Amino acid sequence: MCKLNEIRAKQGFLCDMDGVVYHGTRLLDGAKDFVDWLERSGKRYLFLTNSSERSPAQLHQKLLEMGLDVDESHFYTSGQATARFLSSQSPGCSAYVIGGDGLRQALTEEGISLTESSPDYVVVGETPYYHYAMVKHALQLVVAGAKLIGTNPDLTGRDETGIIPTCQALIAPIALASGKKPYYVGKPNALMMRTGLRMLGVHSDEAAIIGDRMDTDIIAGIETGLDTVLSLSGVTAREDIAQFPYRPRYIINGLGELAE
């Protein structure tokens, strides 16, 4: 309980979404209580998601349909992080995109033109419309010289049906066939973490990260100097923790434990 109170005393919270706040279209127990507690306590918080498929406005609507009202300003996606990265590296660049509307919108807002012909980058994120023709075309573009970018390194995710393939699984055929190693922008990349802290306006010592993945959320927190909270509501089970050479500072079954 001592450690849990130390986490509650933090001023800023970076919280994962899929597997922590919801599964698919189902809000997880305790999520609403947690957000209510954050608001009542005057905490600064940001839902930092590796999913690039949806924009902040779409994430707001998704949660609203589940009964949870969170302002758009509290979301930061790997799609936005990827767009900022590309814009900083090569202003006015172009990209061929395999991904959802949220990723496309983020890239466009950063002044990146979307094209199917001779792009500077091939950018891959999550999309339910993934198909062979996309992979084939992306492969040809990468072989021709386009740089390969993944919005995040997540291999799998979870929805109401169970485990699903995510970004690293979707980009793998292009990387394997081209022999090119992708650069991943989302967690645990420090770029996304540092931007999240700047958006909150808090130092790493004053913040905690809550997530369900040891290989992205927890290692991202450790490497950025945040306290780490692993929620067992998603991908990682308690028995999986021993497989990693690092540990979260605290383990919870769900967000409701922090709101109590």
pLDDT digit string (tens) for 99-121? 999 999 999 999 999 999 999 99
Residues marked active site are found at 16, 18
**Which pLDDT score is estimated for 4?**
84
Give the count of domains, the chain. 2
Same domain? For 144 and 161 the reply is yes
Residues of the chain above pLDDT 90, percent = 91
Q: Which domain holds residue 100?
A: 90-184
> What is the band of 140 on the pLDDT scale with cuts at 50, 70, 90?
very high
Same domain? For 97 and 177 the reply is yes
Same domain? For 192 and 179 the reply is no
Which among 134, 165, 184 is the end of a domain?
184
SS (H, E, C) the chain: CHHHHHHHCCCEEEECCECCCEECCEECCCHHHHHHHHHHHCCEEEEEECCCCCCHHHHHHHHHHCCCCCCHHHEEEHHHHHHHHHHHHCCCCEEEEECCHHHHHHHHHCCCEECCCCCCEEEECCCCCCCHHHHHHHHHHHHCCCEEEECCCCCEEEECCEEEECHHHHHHHHHHHHCCCCEECCCCCHHHHHHHHHHHCCCHHHEEEEECCHHHHHHHHHHHCCEEEEECCCCCCHHHHHHCCCCCCEEECCCHHHHC
**Which pLDDT score is estimated for 2?**
55
> What is the band of 12 on the pLDDT scale with cuts at 50, 70, 90?
very high
**Which pLDDT score is estimated for 210?**
97
Instruction: Give mean pLDDT, residues 120-141.
Output: 97
Over 80: is that where the pLDDT of 256 sits? yes
Same domain? For 38 and 107 the reply is no
Over 90: is that where the pLDDT of 84 sits? yes
Which among 184, 216, 250 is the end of a domain?
184
Same domain? For 169 and 193 the reply is no
Which among 184, 200, 218 is the end of a domain?
184
Instruction: Give mean pLDDT, residues 78-96.
Output: 97
The pTM for the full model equals 0.92
Over 60: is that where the pLDDT of 35 sits? yes
> What is the band of 72 on the pLDDT scale with cuts at 50, 70, 90?
very high
Instruction: Give mean pLDDT, residues 79-97.
Output: 97
Same domain? For 172 and 197 the reply is no
Over 80: is that where the pLDDT of 48 sits? yes
Same domain? For 138 and 203 the reply is no
Same domain? For 138 and 151 the reply is yes
Same domain? For 229 and 242 the reply is yes
Instruction: Kindly report the CATH number assigned to the domain that includes residue 210.
Output: 3.40.50.1000
Same domain? For 200 and 152 the reply is no
Same domain? For 252 and 222 the reply is yes
What tens digit of pLDDT does each residue of 158-217 get? 777 878 899 999 999 999 999 999 999 999 999 999 999 999 999 999 999 999 999 999
Same domain? For 11 and 31 the reply is yes
**Residue 197, domain member (yes or no):** yes
Instruction: Give mean pLDDT, residues 7-16.
Output: 95
